[in-house]
Copies of this chain bind each other. A is one copy, B any other.
Amino acid sequence: MPYDPSDFPPFAVTVDLVVLTVRRHALCALTVRRGEEPHQGQWALPGGFVRTDEDLASAAARELAEETGLRTHESGNRHSAAHLEQLATYGDPGRDPRMRVVSVAHLVLAPDLPTPTPGGDAGGAQWTPVGDLLGDEVSRGAGTGTEAGATAGIGAATPLAFDHGRILADGVERARSKIEYSSLAAAFCPPEFTVGELRRVYEAVWGVVLDPRNFHRKVTGTPGFLVPVGGTTTRQGGRPAQLFRAGGATVLNPPMLRPEV
């Protein structure tokens, strides 16, 4: 089969981003308001076309920087950089009514940003709890009880444009399963964090409540998982907690077990 350009139909290749963070005890995704048809006015995932000279990961990192100003650490600059990995590719004919678009979705895990929406070219980006976008029960009410049930009514999901709801669901499931056996949950935390802050990340992502004592014993007892950095903090209230940073151990064995599975 010779590579005659007329042999294959015109494909557009894009990257879509599932950018997750933990805000106020809830797992949130970055969404942008669509300014044109189709699905005008609906929420969608950020994304854009892949350029001729860049690879897929670079395209995703560029789009992320354009939309949020976040930098990713491609095995480079440590500290306050987001984690980026390829998620999956979506290419059903008709997923975009205008033409054949194959979208390579990427997953980004970011610490909570003080600036929710540094304006990119997309109009109006914001963080939205994934429970509001998916109508997923486990994605709601992950708080410690203070504001349980304070979110919108059950099932009142705001559907995303195109097939972005499915992409988001796949990304959330990837994040939920991956923090089981890796130190990736630290990507949701600032460079230095406490054991309690890391535990609250697990609780928000999984939508469960974990025993603080057993969690502390587990993560501090796994060699290379957490590295004490020396200082303490009282930003959570209560007794001062030691500060840690993520250790070099990226794989967690035995894994952290997600309760009630």
Within 8 A of B (CB), among A35-90: 36, 48-56, 86, 88-90
Q: Give the CA-CA distance A53 to B91 in the complex, in Å.
A: 11
Q: Count contacts on A: residues with CB < 8 A to the other chain.
A: 39
Closest to A122 in B: B1
| Whole-angstrom distance between the Cβ of A223 and the nearest chain B Cβ | 14
**A153: CB under 8 A from chain B?**
no
* Across-interface contacts of A251 in B (CB, < 8 A): 261
| Whole-angstrom distance between the Cβ of A24 and the nearest chain B Cβ | 31
**A100: CB under 8 A from chain B?**
yes
Choose the segment among A10-18, A190-198, A202-210 that binds chain B (4+ C-beta atoms closer than 8 Å).
A10-18
Interface residue from B49, B98, B254, B257 paired with A8 (Cβ < 8 Å): B49
* Across-interface contacts of A99 in B (CB, < 8 A): 3, 5
If A56-B89, A86-B89 touch, whether A13 touches B49 (CB-CB below 8 Å) is: no
Interface residue from B50, B91, B92, B93 paired with A104 (Cβ < 8 Å): B91
**Cβ B10 vs Cβ A10 within 8 A:** yes
| Whole-angstrom distance between the Cβ of A55 and the nearest chain B Cβ | 4
* Across-interface contacts of A91 in B (CB, < 8 A): 13, 50, 55-56, 104
| Whole-angstrom distance between the Cβ of A14 and the nearest chain B Cβ | 9
| Whole-angstrom distance between the Cβ of A42 and the nearest chain B Cβ | 16
**Cβ B11 vs Cβ A93 within 8 A:** no
* Across-interface contacts of A257 in B (CB, < 8 A): 254
Q: Give the CA-CA distance A71 to B92 in the complex, in Å.
A: 20
Using A11-B102, A253-B261 as known contacts, list a sample of 7 further A-B pairs with CB atoms less than 8 Å apart, ordered by residue number in A: A11-B11, A13-B13, A50-B91, A53-B93, A86-B88, A86-B89, A91-B104
| A/B interface sample: 6 pairs, CB < 8 A | A1-B48, A5-B99, A8-B12, A11-B12, A89-B104, A102-B102
